[in-house]
Structure 1
Amino acid sequence: MTDLPILLQNLTSIQEQALAELESVQDEAGLQAWRTAHLGRSSAVMRVFSDLGKLSKEERPQVGQNANQVKLALEGAFNLRSDELRQAALQRSLQNERLDVTLPGRAPTLGSLHPATQNLREIYRVLGDMGFQVYRARDVESDEYNFELLNIPAHHPARDMWDTFHTLTPGVLLRTHTSPGQIHAMREYAPDPVRVILPGMCYRYEQISARSEIQFNQVEMLAIDKGITFGDLKGTLNDFARRLFGDEVRTRLRPSYFPFTEPSAEMDVECFVCGGKGCPICKGSGWLEILGCGMVHPTVLKNGGYDPAVYSGFAAGMGPERIAMLRYRITDIRYFWGNDVRFLEQF
């Protein structure tokens, strides 16, 4: 049998000694050292719990209860002393430290529009001033609208011009160009004249490189009315280029091929870097391509609800990111979607 009164007296002594030492603690480091010494696994009170198994069944409840009371008392004293030291440190800080309220504040970091968005808005502004209105079309299209109604029937070799993302639903795909919006717009407005731009994201299964991405913006122009000619197309594009790039810009049209326009052309502007002399940016040609265009094919007009014997129209499609690359001398199209803050902050 253990001498129970002596064991209980030892617990009282452990508590008194620990509380006395706690009164002399003056900082956080000392507080943590006290906690380790008097409440840690190797502390005197915790050893009492470890030795309970050596006591008789009659002694264990009373010793365990007293040891637990000592432990709770020490924990409460620790928390109280911790609050006292924290309040004392705060008071010293308020008395000894000064805040200069005349110092200028730190301005919060503000975001800005993405360069692709900025460029799109500038194109919207220019074309809006020229009488075009924005018409939104969907990103997920049917094969019929993306190809068939644009004079690109199934198995036509022209389909190789677009590397298409097909979905698991037959006949449903991610649009490869904004041209399907032409059919939507024509069928909504026919037989009235139409003058719209069709902006939006396009998707193509291509090898990602400095000049090619699997997703990119396009802006389509469409104008349909009686008596529209290729001269109207050329004049509209020249005016657009001057408004966007400046009055001194030089342009040219080159013959090209698109299934949904006839005749078709591509439009170039004089290289901004070399002024037409030839450089690596323009591959020595002195010219930079900005868009494809042409007169709307009679089949497309008919599919849109217009009589090609009465109505004519022109269409043009441009890549805003490509135009931004030319305007700002950006050498890699991947910068637009890389989310590198160092790049984005430049705009």
Structure 2
Amino acid sequence: MDELLSPEQLLSSLTQIEEAFRSDIAKVATLADLQQVRAKYSGKKGLVTAKMKALSSVPDPVQKKEFGRRINELKNFVEDSLKGRELLLKEGEQERRLLTEKIDITLPGKSVQFGRTHPINQVLSEIKDIFVSMGFGIEDGPEVELDHYNFEALNIPRDHPARDMQDTFYISDDVVLRTHTSPVQVRVMEKTKPPLKIIAPGKVYRCDADVSHTAMFHQVEGLMVDTDVSFGDLKGVLELFIRSFFGKDTPVRFRPSYFPFTEPSAEVDIGCVFCKGAGCRVCKTTGWLEVLGSGLVNPRVFEMTGYDPARYSGFAFGMGVERMTMLKYSIDDIRLFYENDLRFLRQF
């Protein structure tokens, strides 16, 4: 113990500590090494700190004064040496970083890649713009829908064979993932009096998946109701839309068809965009491609929504956005839209 040492021995121990410190500080190569040396000599349990605590055990005032002076000299020497070495190490670290992390300002800048609007959203926006330019408003509705709005109010009761046309995701007996956006039309008619002129874009869901179908896809449905709406109005609106979307020279034809919520009903075809009407595998050699369904609103739908079918008439239509996109850009596999392959998406 220091209290058992003579004054001469105490002073000699300070000299030994100084020599040991000089040896240790000379070996320091990193800031981590420096921290270990600092803890060894100046820490709470360091060698110099211990000598300062031992000062109180020196009985002779003269010797105590001399011993205290020598301890302070050693303490100041240790602290100054540690600070000096720390400064040198930090300067060396900065120089090393400047050499290894330097930037060559003569190099050309790196280009920033910007995102693109997904082709489905591009086409959806284009469809909206065309119909808005014709005076149609845009309406939205829930994707998780009541059976009443998805089927019953559209003249498709529970035992109707038309339900087999749509493979439905049922959440419960009375709740489904909507199979089309037509329920939006019913909801709008329930709360709005004619005249009406709306489109209803959005996601829909069906149990189907192959090169031309996915379980989730997008539709745009339209509805116009007034006191004197005819099939001629329907043809005029759809022909204007198709030629605005596909080109002014696009051939258009209407074929009789069947939908429970329209009567009479018609499928709308355009001249095949792949073979230009010559006949190919895609159009099954007919020269025509189906693009949407349409018809005059069934009076039964008007009755269920509170409209007087003797006073009002209207037309409705619906199209798949994915199909319109595939035809517009000659894409033969719907799954490409959802695989997130940048090689595909960067083309749009």
TM-score (norm 1): 0.77
- Distance (whole Å) between structure 2 residues aligned to residue 62 and residue 109 of structure 1: 57
RMSD: 3.6
DSSP 3-state at the match of 1:313: strand
Matched, 1:144 2:148: yes
Shift of 1:269: 0.6
Which has more radius of gyration? Answer: 2
Aligned match of 2:66: none
- Distance (whole Å) between structure 1 residues aligned to residue 125 and residue 46 of structure 2: 82
- Distance (whole Å) between structure 2 residues aligned to residue 175 and residue 216 of structure 1: 11
My pick for the range that moved more, 301-310 or 318-327, is: 301-310
Q: 1:89 to 1:128 in 2, by over 3 A?
A: same
Aligned match of 1:83: 90
Which of 124, 135, 138 in structure 2 is aligned with 1:134?
Answer: 138
Structure 1 counterpart of 2:332, which letter? T
DSSP 3-state at the match of 1:277: coil
Matched, 1:327 2:307: no
- Distance (whole Å) between structure 1 residues aligned to residue 99 and residue 308 of structure 2: 88
Q: How does 1:250-269 map to 2 (within 5 A)?
A: 250-269=251-270
Q: 1:10 to 1:303 in 2, by over 3 A?
A: farther
- Distance (whole Å) between structure 1 residues aligned to residue 18 and residue 93 of structure 2: 28
Q: How does 1:53-132 map to 2 (within 5 A)?
A: 82-89=89-96, 99-100=105-106, 105-132=109-136
Matched, 1:182 2:185: yes
Aligned match of 2:199: 197
Check conservation: 1:19, 1:77, Cα contact below 8 A: no
Q: 1:91 to 1:193 in 2, by over 3 A?
A: closer
Shift of 1:18: 3.6
- Distance (whole Å) between structure 1 residues aligned to residue 203 and residue 347 of structure 2: 23
Q: 1:334 to 1:76 in 2, by over 3 A?
A: farther
- Distance (whole Å) between structure 2 residues aligned to residue 195 and residue 109 of structure 1: 41
Shift of 1:84: 2.7
Aligned match of 1:16: 22
My pick for the range that moved more, 280-289 or 314-323, is: 280-289
DSSP 3-state at the match of 1:166: coil
Shift of 1:225: 1.3
My pick for the range that moved more, 13-22 or 213-222, is: 13-22
- Distance (whole Å) between structure 2 residues aligned to residue 108 and residue 307 of structure 1: 59
Matched, 1:158 2:162: yes
Give the unaligned 5+ runs of structure 1: 26-30, 40-44, 46-60, 67-71
TM-score (norm 2): 0.76
Shift of 1:339: 2.2
Shift of 1:265: 1.4
Check conservation: 1:218, 1:317, Cα contact below 8 A: yes
DSSP 3-state at the match of 2:220: strand
Percent of matched pairs sharing the same residue: 44
- Distance (whole Å) between structure 2 residues aligned to residue 272 and residue 91 of structure 1: 61
Structure 2 counterpart of 1:342, which letter? R
Give the unaligned 5+ runs of structure 2: 51-77
- Distance (whole Å) between structure 2 residues aligned to residue 272 and residue 185 of structure 1: 35
- Distance (whole Å) between structure 2 residues aligned to residue 141 and residue 318 of structure 1: 19
Shift of 1:107: 3.7
- Distance (whole Å) between structure 1 residues aligned to residue 318 and residue 123 of structure 2: 15
DSSP 3-state at the match of 2:236: helix
- Distance (whole Å) between structure 2 residues aligned to residue 90 and residue 144 of structure 1: 70
DSSP 3-state at the match of 1:165: coil
- Distance (whole Å) between structure 1 residues aligned to residue 134 and residue 113 of structure 2: 37
